[in-house]
Amino acid sequence: GLNIGVLALQGAFREHRASLESLNASVTEVRKAKHLENLDGIILPGGESTAIGKLLNQFELMEPLREKISGGLPVWGTCAGMILLAKSIENDDRRHLDVMDISVVRNGYGRQLGSFGVEQIVPAVSEKPIPLVFIRAPYIVEVGKDVEVVCSADGNIVAAKQDNMLAVSFHPELTPDTSFLEYFLNMCKEPA
Which CB sits closer to ligand GLN, 13 or 183? 13
**What whole-number distance in Å separates Cα of residue 187 and Cα of residue 38?**
16
Which phi and psi (to 5°) does residue 120 adopt?
-155, 145
Annotated ligand binding at 49? The verdict is: yes
Site string for ligand GLN, 28-57 (x = CB under 6 A): ------------------xxxx--------
Query: How many Cα atoms within 13 Å fall on the side-chain side of residue 57?
Result: 10
Verify whether residue 171 is a known catalytic residue.
yes
Residue 20 CB, shortest distance to ligand GLN, in Å, is 18
**What whole-number distance in Å separates Cα of residue 30 and Cα of residue 4?**
10
Verify whether residue 29 is a known catalytic residue.
no
Residue 145 CB, shortest distance to ligand GLN, in Å, is 26
Helix (H, G, I), strand (E, B) or coil at 33: helix
Which CB sits closer to ligand GLN, 2 or 98? 98
Verify whether residue 151 is a known catalytic residue.
no
Residue 189 CB, shortest distance to ligand GLN, in Å, is 26
Count of residues interacting with ligand GLN (CB under 6 A): 11
Residue 24 CB, shortest distance to ligand GLN, in Å, is 26
* DSSP β-ladder status, 156-162 and 26-30: unpaired
* End-to-end C-alpha distance for the chain, whole angstroms: 19
Give 101-113 as a DSSP string: EEEEETTTT-SS-
Question: For binding to ligand GLN (CB under 6 A), which residues are involved?
Answer: 46-49, 79-80, 83, 106-107, 135-136
Q: Which residues are catalytic?
A: 79, 171, 173
